[in-house]
Structure 1
Amino acid sequence: MNKPLKILQVQLYERNSCVLADEIIRALPDSYEVTNAFLCGEPRAQDRDEKGARTVCFGFPDAWFKGLRLRVLWRLYRFSKQEGFDMVVAHRYKPMSLFLQLNRWLKFKRLVGVQHGIGDLDRGHRKREVRRLLQKNCYVVAVSRAVREYLLNAGAGLDENNCIQIDNAIDIAAAERMQLDREEARRQLQLPADGFLFGTIGRLVPVKGHIHLLDAFAQLKDEFPQASVAIIGEGQCREELEAAIARLGLEGRVFLPGAKPQALRYVRAFDVFVMPSLSEGLPLALLEGMSGHLPVIGSNIPSLLPILEDCGGGVFSSGQPDELAQRLREILLLPGQQLREQGERCYRYLCSAHSIEDYHRNYRELLALPE
């Protein structure tokens, strides 16, 4: 009987765990044994997920990641050597960097680094490290076209053969089953039952650009009295946003329902999903908006622009509320049938480019590449 292949999946913090890391596990046949490792933080109460993957939390202090990181490397070397992992999937730069080092001695069958955003290879020493440590068994996955273009142009030795694009994805069928209908979603969020609603989901932090959405909407509020805005989320900018709502005369027109568990349930409360972010990797919230058959509007940051162009969404220059106001106005002037057609076009794009089935298949193929 063949020994099952053993895979180690590594992330830095459990609190920042990539949602799609679990989907990589679900993509694998039962013949794989998976260990989920978190380098920092405290262990979870459970040590097995629904597919039987073991969880290990090392609890390394942040200070150990400075300089040569010898204590971290030694502990990970001993653990990996003892466990005899065949393959490693390391999310984001720091875990990938550590296992590029360890790969020199442990020589995994496959080492996959998953890069979720733009900027991790801006530093010269990181470029040199990746160039020096990349071997034939190493691959870097980019979660979007924009991230792949960044990686290929970063000067880190990545090329068409070792830098692979696997778009982030969602389980579209599961998302649709979860979503409340428009009336119930608005009732639970305590939003107006009638009228046109722009909406978004995300933490209330500066990088999400919510203040620009308020500034843009303030330009339209008198022209379109039937329109309103809802931002589902919580965070440090709540007071700033509440002050802006008062300053701009948006009381009763802009709503901050707070953070909601499984916020995807409420996406059909919106008529249009808006993503005014100043920076993102590939925000799953935008894909979740599309799963609700909604038209989408977003900023032209590198991670959003290719998606918006491909799905036919509205685009405005990041941080420019005047341009965003124009996109909002164009949507409000559309007849209902055209608005619905835009939403269906976004949904068809989502199914063709970001399905969880394709995501699973791409990872299975990547981890089965020939030697």
Structure 2
Amino acid sequence: MNIVNMMWAGGTPYMSIHKVHRQVLSHAGTDARISNWLLLGSGLCCGLGSTREWHMPPRALKGRHLWRLLRPWLRMRLRKGLTEAKAEIVLLDGIGVARLVLPLLRNIPHVRAKVLFHGKTRLNNSDIRLLRMFPGERLSIAAVSHTLAKSLEHDLGRPVQTLRMALDPLAFVEPLLSRNQARQALQLPQADGVMLGAVGRLVESKGFEMLIEAFAKASARQPGLQLAIIGEGPQHALLQQRINALGLAGRVHLRGHREDLQLLYRAFDWLLVPSRSEGLGLVVQEAVMADVPVVCSDLQVFREQLCDTGVYLPIADERAWADAIERCTALSAPAVAARQRQALAPEQAWQAFCTGSQSLLRN
């Protein structure tokens, strides 16, 4: 079975998406020949099979203004590539890639398409027509959470498979660093105060600017608190300026992007996830499997994972987050983590993900 895994782009901003595709493709079977295509940028893709970089013009890919005139040429290039790869299945990274690729697949009837959605997407009328025109035996649609799948089903009027991303619990836990080792790797204080963590791209939708403001209020009353934010992005300079202005240098630590993030969760006593929106929020799973309890925004995708064990807070409510951060010093972190792990049920989630991935790729 020849599979082309077609991704929008490579690089740090897309690492979580690549991680999902890598996990899905790991269940393709021993007979699968995998080729990863990056339409934009460069870098390691999924770590399975070969990688091809297309370096397509971004504006032409998005089809805006006169640049849309180049799209037939882009499709012609891709069609030639699919023929050379003897593709039987293409796994497409969301609606952006689907807009480019599905029209050319109408005339390649032996190739089946699988579109995997990673986050809430506004589908326009042409998107809906495009996704509706393929019969079920030629096009499968999946989403990384039940919440997202139901939303897409409502918009499209056709079945959408829930493929909630999960990790092999045994493989995840075994290489985890201890608390001291992880803090040393991140160059964080080893003191006894509570170390709060946050993980993600430094972009507005992750809510880190609000989190720093809330932390400033809470730490004024709890001087032993520390906060480490792991990630990189366009808000880095803005966040650092705000940390300095609030007098939090030495207590709030921006530690940039880490390739070894999965090993480091035990550096934190609590993980804070103040996102304004998420397709799934894989960091919630990773923290809970590392026995680190989670405080998160009140999003349905988080409730889907943690049920009634989650500590849910109103989105962007600075006062509520400040109060919750302060309460972290009084709550039993191990007890909360144990309840959340039971709700997450990582062993069952992993088995469901394995079965769902096999079904998506084989059917």
Pairwise TM-score range, normalised by the shorter structure: 0.7 to 0.9
* 1:264-302 alpha-carbon deviations (Å, 9 max, x no partner): 222111111101112332232222211211110111244
Q: What percentage of aligned pairs have identical amino acids? A: 25
Distance in 2 (alpha carbons) for counterparts of 1:22 and 1:266: 21
- Post-superposition shift, 1:147? 1.2
**1:128 alignment partner in structure 2:** 129
Q: Which residue of 74, 77, 80 maps to 1:75?
A: 77
Any stretches of 5+ residues in structure 2 without a counterpart?
A: none
Trace 1:135-284 onto structure 2 (pairs within 5 A).
135-154=136-155, 156-158=156-158, 162-188=159-185, 189-284=187-282
What whole-Å deviation, never above 9, does each CA across 1:135-174 have from its counterpart, x for those lacking one? 54211110012211221222x232xxx3100001223323
Pairing 1:337-352 to 2, within 5 Å after superposition: 339-352=333-346
Deviation, 1:356, is: 4.3
> Is the counterpart of residue 328 in structure 1 residue 311 in structure 2?
no
The equivalent of 2:110 in structure 1 is 108
Q: Secondary structure at the match of 1:222?
A: helix
For 1:58 and 1:252, how far apart are their aligned partners in 2?
Answer: 43
CA RMSD after TM alignment: 2.6
TM-score (norm 1): 0.85
Q: Structure 2 CA distance, aligned partners of 1:291 and 1:349?
A: 11
Cα separation, partners in 2 of 1:223 and 1:63, compared to 1, 3 Å: closer
CA contact (8 A) 1:204 1:210 kept: yes
2:168 is aligned with what amino acid?
A: D
* CA–CA distance in structure 1, aligned partners of residues 176 and 98 of structure 2: 36
Deviation at 1:36, TM superposition (A): 1.6
Counterparts of 1:239 and 1:75, CA distance in 2: 40
Distance 1:28 1:316, change over 3 A: same
Structure 1 segment 79-94 matched on structure 2, within 5 A = 79-94=81-96
- Cα separation, 2, equivalents of 1:133 and 1:301: 32
- Higher helix residue share: 2
Q: Distance in 2 between matches of 1:194 and 1:298?
A: 24
Contact 1:170–1:354 (CA under 8 A) maintained in structure 2 = no
Q: Which SS does the other structure have where 1:153 is aligned?
A: helix
Quote the residue 1:59 is aligned against: 55
Give the deviation of 1:82 after TM superposition: 4.1
SS in 2 for 1:7: strand
TM-score (norm 2): 0.87
Structure 1 partner of 2:10? 14
| Partner AA of 2:58 in structure 1 | D
Please give the secondary structure, in 2, of the residue aligned with 1:304.
helix
Is 1:299 the counterpart of 2:297? The answer is yes
CA distance in 2, matches of 1:98, 1:7: 18
Q: Which residue in the other structure is 1:36 paired with? A: 36
Contiguous gaps of at least 5 residues in structure 1: none
Moved more, 79-88 or 264-273: 79-88
Change (3 A) 1:353 1:320: farther
Per-residue deviation, residues 196-234 of structure 1 (Å, max 9, x unmatched): 111112232222211211222222223323322211223
